[in-house]
Amino acid sequence: MRVAIIGGAGRMGAWFGKYFLKNGHEVIISDVRMDKAEAVASSLGARTVENNIRAVKVADLSLISTPIDVTPKVLLEISPELRESMIVAEISSLKSKVLPILRNLAKRGIKVLSLHPLFGSGAQEMVGERIALIPVRDPPLEESLVKDLFPEAEIITVDGNVHDDIMAVTLALTHFINIVFASVVGERDVQTIKQLGGTTFTLQLAISEGVMAEDPMLYASIQIDNENTIKYLERFMSKAVKLKRIIESKNFDEFIKFYQSTRESLSKDEGFVAAYERMYRALRAL
């Protein structure tokens, strides 16, 4: 199969380029950063084409791996050139703006996949990794397609609205917390703090530094383009203010009550019992 990776010079685009090459497919890379695209293609053993239109014209599968705000524009750009029965997949982490376009493409007989890889470009291989499948028009067909393309992955099917709501927690809220944490820590002498930091701080700093090493435009889109973000930030801020007031008033009983209530909620997770052990295993891996 001939696979076109649009945005193939990016981290995830390059990752999928490597994946498809490893599995015996021909890979074509298209990216506005032509110099970088050529470097990535050379390192992988793929080839480049001059633009997205040229890429989709020769492809059996077109995988769009572009920034969140760019993906809808790319879909509209390539739409006139798409032919019936070819596969078009996108892997953006927000779905509200791409699903209407994909539904229109599906009406034309084009096979469409809305995917969200729940792993980063640091993954060594596909085995054991998870991919969210957001149904567009024909769930059984789409599930069959994604399983054929990624047989080693765990496929999780989820409604688009539910997906974006959950991403407001797992991405937007998580990034928000770590960006603010990094902002506070960065005001101090980080090296001195690290010397005295315990387990929790060391892990939190590693996560925060990993977040801050990413593309700020990507994280801005995750925060701003998801309509569900604000409601979770408001809930977070409300609970943070409540806990701050408990601490300010030196109310030990209310602190313990808040803590125990939160722990009781989390204990519904079957993995909660082993959480402390997992934390130390993660620390040893650093």
Identify whether the C-beta of residue 33 lies closer than 8 Å to the C-beta of residue 9.
yes
**Residues ≥6 apart with Cβ < 8 Å to 143:** 133, 155, 157
Mean pLDDT across 215-232: 94
Identity of residue 56? V
Instruction: Give the pLDDT band of residue 215 (cuts 50, 70, 90).
Output: confident
228 to 74, 140, 141, 168, 234: CA distances (angstroms): 24, 28, 29, 6, 11
d(CA 19, CA 127): 11
* CA dihedral for 228, 233, 236, 242, sign (positive or negative): negative
CATH numeric code, 162-285:
1.10.3660
- What is the structure's pLDDT at 64? 98
**Residues ≥6 apart with Cβ < 8 Å to 203:** 279, 282, 283, 286
**Which residues does residue 87 pair with via DSSP β-bridges, in sequence order?**
61, 111
Q: For residue 24, report the phi and psi dihedrals to the nearest 5 degrees.
A: 85, 15
pLDDT of 220 strictly over 90: yes
Task: Say which CATH architecture domain 2-158 belongs to.
Answer: 3-Layer(aba) Sandwich (3.40)
- What is the structure's pLDDT at 277? 78
Residue ranges, comma separated, of all CATH 3.40.50.720 domains in the chain are: 2-158
Identity of residue 5? I
Mean pLDDT across 265-278: 81
pLDDT digits (tens, 9 = 90+) for 56-96: 999 999 999 999 999 999 999 999 999 888 999 999 999 99
Identify whether the C-beta of residue 28 lies closer than 8 Å to the C-beta of residue 3.
yes
Identify whether the C-beta of residue 153 lies closer than 8 Å to the C-beta of residue 19.
no
pLDDT digits (tens, 9 = 90+) for 148-157: 999 999 999 9
Enumerate the H helices of the chain as residue ranges: 11-22, 34-44, 52-57, 71-78, 99-107, 139-149, 160-167, 174-185, 190-196, 199-212, 216-224, 229-248, 252-266, 275-285
pLDDT of 281 strictly over 90: no
- What is the structure's pLDDT at 274? 78
Contacts of 221-224 with C-beta under 8 Å, sequence gap 24+, read 221/67, 221/68, 221/69, 221/94, 222/68, 222/93, 222/94, 222/167, 222/171, 222/172, 222/175, 223/172, 223/175, 223/176
Identify whether the C-beta of residue 27 lies closer than 8 Å to the C-beta of residue 43.
no
Residue ranges, comma separated, of all CATH 1.10.3660 domains in the chain are: 162-285
Residue 118 burial (CB count, 10 A): 15
Question: Residue 79: which of 110, 50, 58 has the closest Cα?
Answer: 110
What pTM value is reported for the model? 0.89
d(CA 248, CA 240): 12
Most confident by average pLDDT, 82-86, 114-118, 273-277? 114-118
